[in-house]
Amino acid sequence: MKTTIDCIPCLVRQSIEAARFISDDENFQKKLIENIMQIIAKPDFTKSPPAMAQVIHKEIRKISGIADPYKTVKDKFNELARSILEELRDRISSSPQPLHTAVKLAVAGNIIDSGVRSELSESDVKKSIENVFSEPVKGDINEFCRQVEQAEKILYLADNAGEIFFDRLLLEKLHHPGLTVAVRGYPVLNDATMDDAVSAGIDQINTIISNGSDAPGTILEDCSEEFIDHFKNADLIISKGQGNYETLSNVKKNIYFLFKVKCPLTADHAGLPLGSNAVLQSTHFTVKV
């Protein structure tokens, strides 16, 4: 996906929210926004939205001197997810189709996305969980499960903090010895890094690697050599979240995108209604250039 003029308001909103996370000083907030607006005023429409966001959030960290402006938000949702982990695990184990339930919960967890909405409440998260069971999932979960079973090497691309606890539940059910989990290399928005993955106990289930990048998506040319080796050698990529969809939807690879459709542009690109719960294989839809 490429950035369009409709992405600009979202980038401005993210910048304002980050300024307020960092400081209550109105003069600092204004200075930061003035600097960011100079970048936004000259957008590169050949790049994906996460590539544009990467530039903006790098500048925010540079100006503020704060390495992880969203750490408080990340910690909040990690703790929320941790507090309901056993409840969700029980729901999976009591389900007639435990793996299907774990897949749906992993998608539901993608609601925790500060790039789209920072003011998220506990009730919003719980509503997302209930909705994923009452609404149809767009895609074939049976085929997803079949391909996981057949794959020798799987690369699982994590997305957000908080959400990564939902990923843990799915990883427990997949129980795949050839699966590696990749997280962001550096803090950006509320995306999960190595610390978040370890906090969720992912290291107790699968190997974790960093992708070496600070983009809120997976920009292959910006990722580490280690990550690229895993990406190339994987039989199956499991890609969580909109940012990963926006950066990988044109890549010719066997990728399953698991995410909630939270943006009208993404909805149009994927050919799905806004708000959909998606389990989409890369070859199952026509990508718009």
pLDDT, one tens digit per residue, over 145-159 is 999 999 999 999 999
| 138 shares its domain with 230 | yes
Measure the CA–CA gap between 232 and 234, rounded to whole angstroms: 6
pLDDT, one tens digit per residue, over 87-124 is 999 999 999 999 999 999 999 999 987 767 666 777 88
CATH of the domain at 250: 3.40.50.10880
Mean pLDDT of 80-88: 95
| 91 shares its domain with 122 | yes
Q: Which domain holds residue 90?
A: 71-284
Instruction: Answer whether residue 275 is part of any domain.
Output: yes
Closest CA to 163 of 91, 203, 107: 107
| 32 shares its domain with 121 | no
pLDDT of residue 118: 61
Instruction: Answer whether residue 76 is part of any domain.
Output: yes
Token output for 1: 């996906």
Instruction: Answer whether residue 289 is part of any domain.
Output: no
pLDDT of residue 289: 29
How many angstroms separate the Cα of 204 from the Cα of each of 99, 200, 209? Answer: 19, 9, 13
Task: Tell which of 45, 64, 83 closes a domain.
Answer: 64
| 12 shares its domain with 97 | no
| 32 shares its domain with 115 | no
| 124 shares its domain with 251 | yes
pTM: predicted TM-score of the whole model, two decimal places: 0.94
Measure the CA–CA gap between 258 and 262, rounded to whole angstroms: 12
| 102 shares its domain with 163 | yes
pLDDT at 288 over 60: no
Measure the CA–CA gap between 21 and 49, rounded to whole angstroms: 22
Give the number of domains in the chain. 2
pLDDT, one tens digit per residue, over 49-67 is 999 999 999 999 999 999 9
